[in-house]
Structures are given as C-alpha cells and as structure tokens.
C-alpha cells in the first residue's frame, strides 16, 4: 500500500508542476506555437494545437529515452 501512496504523491507533484507551468505561460501571453489551428466565427471557436502536440511528443519521447538510457547505465 505504501507504493501506491508514493506513486500518488509523485503524480500529484507532477500535476502541480505542470499546472504551474501552464498557468505561468498563459499569464505571460503564450497562446500556442505558430502552426496551431485556431478558427473563430460568431459564437463558435475551434482550437487544435497540432504543432504544440508534436513538440511535446518529441520532448517527452526524448525524456523517456534519456531516462531509459541512464537507467541502463547504472
């Protein structure tokens, strides 16, 4: 049961950190990367952050690759 508690604490800390980063970016005026799809007409708006998703995917893939590499080294 203590392993589940540790995992929940780590996930909570990660969510807190991610929320802080997103909140800070929003307050500093970040509205997405060039190439993100934004469409507004009347009372309808559509936003699809395609480029942001691609960049985050690349960064997370690199981070997981590095983590596995360091894990196998030691």
The per-residue pLDDT for range 24-74, each reduced to its tens digit, is 988 998 888 888 898 999 999 999 989 989 998 999 999 999 989 888 886
Q: What's the pLDDT score for residue 45?
A: 92
Tell me: pLDDT of 21 over 80.
yes
First to last CA, the chain: 27
Residues 23 and 4 occupy one common structural domain: yes
Residues 9 and 23 occupy one common structural domain: yes
Residues 17 and 37 occupy one common structural domain: no
Residues 67 and 46 occupy one common structural domain: yes
Q: For residues 19 and 22, give the distance between their C-alpha atoms in angstroms, rounded to a whole number.
A: 5
**CB-neighbour burial class of residue 49 (10 A; exposed 0-12, middle 13-18, buried 19+):** middle
Residue 6's domain spans which residues? Answer: 1-30
Q: For residues 3 and 64, give the distance between their C-alpha atoms in angstroms, rounded to a whole number.
A: 21
Residues 51 and 19 occupy one common structural domain: no
Token pair for residue 58?
């690349």
Q: How confident is the model at residue 15 (pLDDT cuts 50, 70, 90)?
A: very high
Residues 70 and 46 occupy one common structural domain: yes
Residue closest to 50 by CA, chosen among 59, 62, 38: 38
Q: What's the pLDDT score for residue 3?
A: 83
């Amino acid at each position: 049961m203590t392993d589940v508690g540790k995992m929940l604490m780590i996930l909570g800390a990660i969510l807190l950190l991610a929320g802080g980063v997103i909140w800070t970016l929003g307050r500093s005026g970040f509205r997405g990367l060039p190439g993100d799809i934004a469409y507004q007409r009347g009372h309808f708006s559509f936003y699809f952050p395609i480029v942001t998703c691609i960049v985050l995917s690349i960064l997370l893939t690199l981070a997981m690759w590095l983590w596995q590499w360091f894990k196998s080294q030691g």
